[in-house]
Each structure stands twice: as structure tokens, then as C-alpha cells.
Amino acid sequence: MPATTDNQSSFLNRISIRRNQVVAMENHDLELEDLELFQKHVADRFSHILSTTAGNTTDPSSATTESPSAVQESCPPPLLSISWFRNLLDTYLCCEAEFKAVLVMGRDPTQFTKTPLDKLIPDLLDRSVKALDICNAVTHGVELVRHWQKLAQIAVTALQQTTIGEGQVRRAKKALITLLTSMVVDDKENANSNNHGKSTERAWSFGRRGGSGNNNKDRATGNFRSLSWSVAKQWSAAKQIQAMSANLAAPRGGESTGLAMPVYIMSTVLVFVMWALVAAIPCQERTGLATHFVVPRQLGWAQPMIGLQEKIGEEWKKKEKKGTAGLLEELQKMEKVAQSLVDFADSFQFPLEEEKASEVATQVEELADICRKMEEGLVPLQQQVREVFHRIVRSRAEVLDLLDQVGKLSTPVPY
């Protein structure tokens, strides 16, 4: 988003220059101006995402073989697609950079010890730690999606042969059943805490067998284990989101014109981004995730975010009972096409009728297109999640350094 980047650079330069020179305006007036500009940029960025989001997430016409950057330029990315999330994470990184400038740049650190920042800053730091856990879970979830993409690619390669025989169909069916079973295992069994002990014994690699040679049940299921389970057995992505939003309250009265407001805005942006990622990417235990964290509608900057929240909530309600492993648009399409091809494999007879062959070829091409989009977009998406992780770590460290300075200033000097 070039325009967004230019606005961000201009905004940061403006704060840096102005806070290092003598100005006629009072500091309070300057802060009000900075706050208004920050709110405007947040509103503009999320309005852009909302206005450039394709409304129908399952429309086959939205498929394309172009790179994510080309997709962004040629047509709006569907809601919850890989390209859509890449835009969302870019928006988060821009908002976070401006927020840090408002909060930290040229700031007297003693302000952090005064009401209401003395409570809001610790809450922000705690919220950041929880966001780091979610980033880790999402990173592993993307890795699992990449594994599913490889399974789908096996089926595509088998069914794109000039002549489809029983051998190709069996190979494709094996890969697709492994894919679909893994999706259901991750979405349903992981939600039941009583199954964690058994579930964590599964190995996620395609074709890998369990440690016991006579464990027929494990062999039948392919013995999967989700990479998102590198966290503790009782860890819950939904509970983590709920904990992040627990103390999220809009400033009132005079606090709404001070530093409390940008802290609240950035906290809301952080919770929204993490909530959307957990809804779309396979993560451990997401029961209750559809419950919205409340953002006051009277806040102008929040309107586009509320609009996106409602759209995602609608998608969750439509699909939460279907055993899918996340709302990622490409995953939704992959599951649907994979199930159709498994049904074809179950009724396969050689030689294949011409009409049926044409129908299957169309579905295989659709699955191939999904695999290409995943191949192009998942690694950059994973890198962006890691960048968000490192940005949160750096910003948290800078705030802690300021608090440490305050502690040193308040410590009596021994004589």
C-alpha cells in the first residue's frame, strides 16, 4: 500500500521534527493534533480494507494464478483470503509504527507513572505477551496449511495425467482422505480437552506411521499431529483472545483526549488482528471465538473495524458446524473440492466417460489453482506474522526501557 506508507512516513517525520523544535502551540494542543491524525489514519486504513474486500468469499470467479501483489492491484482480495491477511498485517504494522511515535517519541517517561497510564501501560504490555503466543500458534498453523497444500498437490499431480487409471485415482484418494481427516481432527478433536492426551500422539506428516506397528487405528487415520500443538496441552486460542480483550475499555471524560485513547486504539487493533488470524488459521481450541469483543460504535475510527468484525462473525456462524479447520478462504475452497474429488474416486470406473472426465478436469484445475495461490502466499504470510511478532517484542522492550528510566529517576541517590 504505497499511499499508506507515504502517509506513515510523513506522520513520523512530522512528530520527530516538531518535538525537537520550539513551537508556538502548547504541548497539550500538539498532542491533540497528533491523536486526531493517528485516529484518522487508523480509520482510513481499515476503511480501505473494508472497501476493497470482495464480498463473496466462495465465488470461484475470484480464483487467480497471479501473485499476491498482482492480485491486490487487479481485483479486491476476498475476505479472509491469504492476500486479505497480508493487507491486514501491513495495516497493523503501519498503525503500530505511528502509535509508538505518538506514545514514545520525545515523551517524558514520568507520564507513564500517572493516571490513567500507570494502569493502561501494564495492561498493554501484558496484552502484547499474549499476542506473541498467538503469533507463535498462527505461525505453526500456517505450516500445517502448507502441509495440507502438499497433500492437495499430490492429488492434482495424480489426476492431471493424460489418462486417469485406477492407480492415479487411488493415489489421489489417499492424499485427499489424509487431508480431509487431518482437517477434521484439528478442528473437532482439538476442541475437546479430554482428547488432548491422545491427539498429541499423532504425527502430522503424510504417510508417517505411529511408533507401534500393531496400532491399526493410528495407521488408518494417517497418525496426524497438528503443528499448532507445540504449545501447552491446555492452551486455548479462544481464551487467549478473551484474556486480551478482558480489560479493553474505551477512555471516558477527559481521558479520551489524552494518551489513554491511542493506547486503547492500538490495543483494539491488536486484538482484532489476532482474533481474525485465529478465526482463519488452524489454532488449538477455538470454542467461543465467534463472540465479539465490543467496540463502541460511537467512535468514528472504529466503524470500519466493526464492519469487518461483523463480516467475519457471519462467516464463522455459517461454517463453524461443518468441521472445517479455519475460515481461511483458500482452505474453504480446498475442503469443498477435495470432498468432491473423493466422491468421484469412490465411484470411479475405467474407462472414464467424456462428460465425467471434463467435470473432474475442471475440479482438478480449481484445486491446482488453490495450490498455486497457497504456494505463492503462505510463506510471505508466515514471514509477516513473524515480523509482527518481532515488532511487538521491540516495541514492548522500548516501553520497558522508559519505565526503567522512571524507576531510576525515582530511586534516591545514596550519599
415 residues of the chain, pLDDT tens digit each: 555 555 565 655 555 545 444 444 456 677 788 889 999 999 999 999 999 997 644 443 444 444 444 444 468 899 999 999 999 999 999 999 999 999 887 778 888 888 899 999 999 999 999 999 999 999 999 999 999 999 999 999 999 988 888 999 999 999 999 999 998 865 554 444 434 333 333 323 333 333 334 444 343 333 334 443 456 778 899 999 999 999 899 998 888 888 999 999 999 999 999 999 999 999 988 887 776 678 888 999 999 999 999 999 888 888 765 556 889 999 999 999 999 999 999 988 888 888 888 999 999 999 999 999 999 999 999 999 999 999 999 999 999 998 888 876 665 545 4
Residue 263 falls inside a structural domain: yes
Q: Is 32 within the bounds of a domain?
A: no
For residue 277, being part of any structural domain is answered with yes
The answer to the question of residue 59 being in a domain is no
Instruction: Tell me if 50 is assigned to some domain.
Output: no
Q: What separation in angstroms does the CA of 154 have from each of 140, 205, 231, 270?
A: 22, 13, 29, 37
pLDDT at 51: 94
Predicted pLDDT at 288:
77
The 3-class secondary structure across 345-360, one letter per residue, is: HHCCCCCCCHHHHHHH
* Domain assignment of residue 80, yes or no: yes
Element (H, E) at 303: helix 303-319
CA distance 6 to 1: 9
Phi then psi dihedrals of residue 128, to 5 deg: -65, -40
Query: Would you state the pLDDT for residue 201?
Result: 31
**Element holding 93 (H helix, E strand):** helix 82-103
Estimate the crossing angle of helix 260-280 against helix 117-159, to 10 degrees: 20
pTM of full prediction above 0.85: no
- Closest by alpha carbon to 387, among 96, 130, 129? 96
Which residue in 41, 64, 235 sits closest to 137, CA to CA?
Answer: 235
Q: What is the DSSP string of 226-248?
A: -GGGGS-TT--HHHHHHHHHTT-
Position 44 in a domain? no
Examine residue 1 and state whether it is found in any structural domain, yes or no.
no
C-alpha distance across the termini of the chain, in Å = 57
Query: Total structural domains in the chain?
Result: 1
Domain encompassing residue 227: 66-408
Q: Is 199 helix (H, G, I), strand (E, B) or coil?
A: helix
Cα separation, 268 vs 279, in Å, equals 16
Taking only Cα atoms into account, the Rg of the chain, rounded to an integer number of angstroms, comes to 25
